[in-house]
Amino acid sequence: MKEIQYLTSYRVIRKLATGGMGSVYLAEQLGAEGFRKIVAIKTIKREFLQNDENVRLFVGEAKLVADLIHENVLQVYQLGETGGVYYIVMEYANGHNLADFIKEHKSRQKVTNVEIGAFVISRIARALDYAHRKSDINGKPLNVVHRDVTPSNVIITLGGVVKLTDFGIAKAVTMKTPDEAEVIMGKLPYMSPEQAKFQGTTPQSDIFSLGLVMYELLTNVVVYNVNDIDDLVDKMDNFSIKRPTQLNPHIPAKLEAIMLRCLETNPANRYQNAEQVWKDLEHYMYDGGYGPTNVKLARYLERLFPRDPDKGSAVALVANKAQ
């Protein structure tokens, strides 16, 4: 059998989220003999289809992530087009994004448990390590850099599985992305110094961004709370990052050291790859015995976002936005 052709159809159940460039919908994938599978569908708005760059990034994300198959990466199943509208069919992750996770802690005047926080960051590091090392079917390295590691692009499912999402502005050797010497890609508060200074990005840029997410997760403080690139560069050049233990004395010295190494301004002093990050985090978590797990994270999430018995599960989100 050389080829199987089957026209897959989808039934949209409801809209989950709307962002600047599109929307995400909860849907059912329909197949033979009454087959049904719950999926999420991300679309790009018609007005953005007029810009070839927007379409290229949207299509590029689907193609890039299609072969990224890892527990901690949100899976993409299909890229389609109907009536002139492009859509991506992807895994439905029922849970909460990390931005809402942090926001809920702030609303309760609490900060994330350090063991749970370390576990979440270790899973993101595992996802980055996998993506950074990914090769194509011929064994050629793809040289993937996510470039948008932020709390809003991380989902924690109700089962306690951490998922890195939204490779919409990722770069790889297979993608024609804008010249980083001319165009800023990413969100200002989570950029690496080299990213902010138009010097290009590497896997170590993602590690710096991961450090910023870790800092916020364990202190409730955004390191670079800025609105323009000049302010960001000024802060990076002229201000030292306050030690996280000054904001949260419950952070152990070993965990603080990991965080600060991720946040080294000079890439040469930073972790050289994401594998080193998750290995150090897991040594910290498990060296003394039984540490955090998916189950522990799921229970922590349920306490943070109690389920309404009259409505079933907690609010379901695929992402807080659509590229």
Given 52, 100, 136, 148, the catalytic residue: 148
What is each CA distance from 290 to 285, 286, 296, in whole angstroms? 8, 6, 11
User: Cβ neighbours of residue 55 under 8 Å, at least 6 residues apart?
Assistant: 44, 48, 49, 86
What 43-48 contacts at long range (C-beta under 8 Å, 24+ apart), as own/partner pairs, is: 43/85, 43/86, 43/87, 43/88, 43/322, 44/85, 44/86, 44/87, 44/322, 44/323, 45/21, 46/84, 46/85, 48/21, 48/22
CB 161 within 8 A of CB 72: yes
Q: What is the C-alpha separation between 242 and 194, in angstroms, rounded? A: 20
Beta bridge partners of 174: none
- Tokens 């070993």: give the residue: 254
CB 91 within 8 A of CB 109: no
Nearest C-alpha neighbor of 212 from the set 174, 241, 249, 183: 241
Q: What is the C-alpha separation between 204 and 132, in angstroms, rounded? A: 10
**How many DSSP H helices and E strands does the chain contain?**
10, 8
Known catalytic residue: 148? yes
Q: What is the C-alpha separation between 154 and 97, in angstroms, rounded? A: 5
Identify residue 67 by its one-letter amino acid code: D
- Sheet strands (E) in the chain: 9-18, 22-30, 36-44, 76-82, 85-90, 95-97, 154-157, 162-164
Residues labelled as active-site residues? 148
